[in-house]
């Protein structure tokens, strides 16, 4: 009998671990398909995603299409209002059918002001500070005996990273 060997070595993808929780949180807000939340920038476009985010989907009594509530800031609301129909078409294209019949734009979250304080733009990416010349020279000296060019470059980078870390007893 042949035994099946696992290639994951006991590890699981983060998406598979969080999928149930994301679905449960999304369904509480009416998002039966969490793709609208997780891929908002792709669906709405970078320009709209920078100024607005989906908050809730509510279904009418007759069941003929849903209402998507979108949160934005007060200054961006008129701009978003002019793009409502185009945005509705993009969202419905993501669902694959005419799931959303109306868009409602709000400047606060439906549960109150406390939830509506989230920033829409992602934090600016900050790279690591370049190492000082002394650290760079030390890393080059440590890797100098290695003859293979690729390995030497990798060891220099590793040496720079290790030497540039703050020591626990150092004061910043």
| Same structural domain, 18 and 95 | yes
Prediction pTM value: 0.48
Residue 126, in any domain of the structure = no
Instruction: Report pLDDT for 172.
Output: 47
Residue 77, in any domain of the structure = yes
The CA-to-CA distance between both ends of the chain, in Å, stands at: 61
**Binning pLDDT at 50, 70 and 90, where does residue 135 land?**
confident
Instruction: Report pLDDT for 56.
Output: 83
Instruction: Report pLDDT for 38.
Output: 79
| Same structural domain, 151 and 89 | no
Residue 32, in any domain of the structure = yes
Q: What is the mean pLDDT of the chain?
A: 76
Find the CATH number of the domain harbouring 19.
Answer: 3.30.300
| Same structural domain, 154 and 96 | no
Question: What are φ and ψ of residue 12, in 5° steps?
Answer: -130, 155
| Same structural domain, 65 and 138 | no
| Same structural domain, 73 and 142 | no
Residue 9, in any domain of the structure = no
Q: Do the beta carbons of residue 172 and residue 166 sit within 8 Å?
A: yes
Where residue 65 falls (left for φ over 0; alpha for ψ -120 to 50; beta otherwise) is left
| Same structural domain, 37 and 96 | yes
Tell me which residue range forms the domain holding 140: 133-164
Arithmetic mean of pLDDT, 36-45: 86
| Same structural domain, 30 and 90 | yes
In tens, the pLDDT along 51-97 reads 898 888 887 776 677 888 899 888 888 999 999 999 999 988 887 77
Arithmetic mean of pLDDT, 160-165: 81
Residue 121, in any domain of the structure = no
| Same structural domain, 56 and 137 | no
Number of domains making up the chain: 2
Alpha carbon separation from 27 to 22, 24, 30, 48 (Å, rounded): 8, 5, 5, 23
């Amino acid at each position: 009998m042949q035994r099946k060997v696992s290639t994951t070595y006991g590890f699981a993808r983060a998406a598979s671990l969080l999928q149930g929780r994301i679905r449960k949180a999304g369904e509480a807000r009416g998002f039966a398909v969490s793709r609208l939340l997780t891929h908002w920038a792709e669906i709405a476009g970078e320009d709209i995603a920078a100024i607005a985010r989906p908050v809730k989907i509510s279904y009418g009594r007759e069941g003929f299409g849903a209402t998507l509530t979108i949160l934005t800031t007060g200054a961006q609301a008129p701009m978003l209002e002019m793009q409502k129909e185009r945005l509705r078409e993009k969202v419905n294209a993501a669902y694959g059918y005419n799931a959303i019949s109306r868009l409602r734009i709000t400047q606060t979250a439906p549960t109150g002001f406390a939830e509506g304080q989230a920033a829409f733009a992602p934090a600016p990416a900050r790279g690591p500070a370049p190492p000082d010349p002394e650290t760079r020279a030390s890393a080059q000296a440590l890797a100098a005996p290695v003859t293979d060019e690729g390995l030497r470059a990798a060891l220099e980078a590793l040496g720079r990273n290790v030497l540039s870390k703050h020591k626990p007893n150092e004061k910043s």
